[in-house]
Each structure stands twice: as C-alpha cells, then as structure tokens.
Copies of this chain bind each other. A is one copy, B any other.
Amino acid sequence: MGETIEGVLAEIKFDRDGLVPAVAQQHDSGEVLMVAWMDREAVLTTLREGRVCYWSRSRGTLWRKGEISGQIQLLRELRLDCDGDTVLLLVDQSGVACHTGRRNCFFRAWREGAWAIISEPQIDPKTLYAKAGVAEPIATAGKKDAPGFGPSYPR
C-alpha cells in the first residue's frame, strides 16, 4: 500500500497548519456524527488501520477515535471534495460519537431565537470514560482545563 497511498496525500490540500477538516458520517443512516481534523499521519493511519484517527488540535497529538472511550469509528470509505480541502469519512460508529455521550455532536439547534438541545446523552460520560479504567483524563491531567469534558479530553 506504500506507494499508492501517496496518491491519497497528493490530492489532499492540507492547510497552513498541515490539517484538513474531516466530516464523519454514519455510512447507512447518513447521520452527520462529528467534524474533526486530520493531518497526513492521521489520514495514513486511518487508511492503514481501517479505523478512524484524527489529529487533536487541543492536545497536539494523533487521536485514535475511541482510544479511551471505546467508541471507535470503523472506516467504510474516505472521500474527498472538489477542491481537495475537505474529507468525508463514511464510518460505522460504535456507540456514541460525542464526548457528551450523545450519538452525534450537533445537538444544538437554533430555533425561534434560541439554542434548543435536541438530543440527550445515551451514556453518562463518566461511565464512558471509566470503562477504560481512567479515573481522570490522562492527557489533560494537571492542565488548567481538566477535569471535565472539554476539547482537550481524549475521546
């Protein structure tokens, strides 16, 4: 796969930070689960492992989706848009995609001049992250924004 995989990278236009936004969509239902970022290594790792891997901008590390929570995304197909600057990932999501315990991250809708919460958590985030035996977020331990489930939480 070594040589051909360079073909995928050649067509992707990474931004000045070396990143490209990636939309994760549940392959059968069409539900948009989340949007995150990928660098070159995340794209390569995702294709090689068949499991979605992002780049965490807040933690500055490669982020295998579900590495703590177990809520992984299996890759069904990677697509690229006309300009080559956005990736669409058709995935099979295990459990929930959102760190709040919701199936997808887009649970706020602008309705009648206010934000309405349109879905509830299916799993308590504490349960979700305790599964992996983590008492507190590893990557954020000691950081100002820990504890909690902010952007720096390993999901």
What residues of chain A have their CB less than 8 Å away from a CB belonging to chain B? 1, 4-5, 7-8, 11, 21, 23, 25, 29-32, 34-35, 47, 77-83, 86, 88, 98-100, 102, 105-111, 113-115, 118, 150-151
Contact = CB atoms under 8 A, between A and B. Distances in A.
A105 B77 contact: no
A87 to B, nearest CB: 9
A52 B34 CA distance: 20
29 contacts: A1-B113, A4-B113, A7-B113, A7-B114, A7-B115, A8-B110, A11-B115, A21-B35, A23-B32, A23-B35, A29-B30, A30-B32, A32-B32, A32-B88, A34-B81, A35-B81, A35-B86, A79-B106, A79-B109, A79-B110, A80-B110, A80-B115, A82-B98, A82-B100, A82-B102, A82-B105, A83-B105, A86-B106, A88-B106
